[in-house]
Structure 1
Amino acid sequence: MEAIQLNHAARPHRYACAGITINPNPPQVGVVTTLGLTLKNAGPKPVTISRIETMIAQFGVGVAWEQLPALGPFHLPADPNYIEEVTMQWTPQKGGHRCVRANIHIETLPQPLQIGRNLQVIESGAAQTNWDVPFRLGNPQDQRMPIILEIGGNSPQAIDAYVMDNGRMVRSGEPIWLNAKEEVDAMLLLRARTNAALESVSTVEA
């Protein structure tokens, strides 16, 4: 378990940070899941957390977040050996990939510390060169807008990416137009250009 160090709040945390624990893991539809945050203050002064806001979303782009009840306040002494365990419960209603995000509001900081975690990590076998990933695609704005997929990661040039939208294949970088607040089912298609290219790829970000 990786504790979230509040005195390093200005330093970005990677999205797969283990500071959020899941039990049971993986979560099961209809089964109460406990989400936990492990907090530590290794700084020279006490820290007060006014509130923690946690939200969960399906894997997708522009989809709505499910808000869990806010928790707080919490007071952490200036003691690197003191650990504050914060837990909350959530019951998933359908299967699939989820993203968890927690905003930790600290009284002495102008912006909240943001921590995230994937509830189900998408993995493939070493010999696999194609991935088809269903996800929800949405436009959260109040007007019709284009949604554009961009691929990043440690070696984006090794991967071809497309989105299948209503039977139409759209290459990354091309727009998909959605009406205001519209959400649709889509499919992310990832294709490795060569088998050798996979040796240099460890992450793909969309």
Structure 2
Amino acid sequence: MVTSQVAMALDRLVPSPEEFSIEAWARLLEKFEHRSIQFVGVDLPAGYFGACIIVEEESVGVSGVLYPITEYVVYSNCLPPSHREHVKAHELAHIALGHSTLVLSPTEFVNWNPSSEPHSAFCWRASCASDPSRKLQNDQEAELLTRRVFQRVFAWQQKVGFRQRSSLQKLESALWRSQID
């Protein structure tokens, strides 16, 4: 079952199949979110594949409100390339769906060192940043959007491939007929 939020994100916040790439999706979300999205490979513990981290900048204003400047999609270096792409897409799906994530100051982000801070504590904070009871639902929604994106791209590729094969077959048939005559 597709939730309305997943359907809306698929229609509005994902590039068309003709233009799709992970990078193109990130650029589209950057325009929508008004912040940069960067991909960073790190060593994560077994069982953790990726996370989104927003790095905020302290405003100079009187309110003291923090304004987001960059969102990092962190993925495990240990993953094979195809799984890395899936994890990147899954994390972009979290962004597209507006799911809460870990928020760090620039100092916290710069000082974070995977070898000095226990990995599991960092990953738990990243994955349960807002409400631990919503984590499973958010992950299911992000995975559903990720799969829908890849299904749409695959269906388009199959359609284009079929058209190209059909055109090639027609050309080969015409060439073969012209040799007989």
- Larger relative contact order (Cα-Cα within 8 Å, sequence gap ≥ 6): 2
Structure of greater Rg: 2
- TM > 0.5: no
Greater strand share, 1 or 2? Answer: 1
What range describes the TM-score normalised by the shorter chain of this pair?
Answer: under 0.3
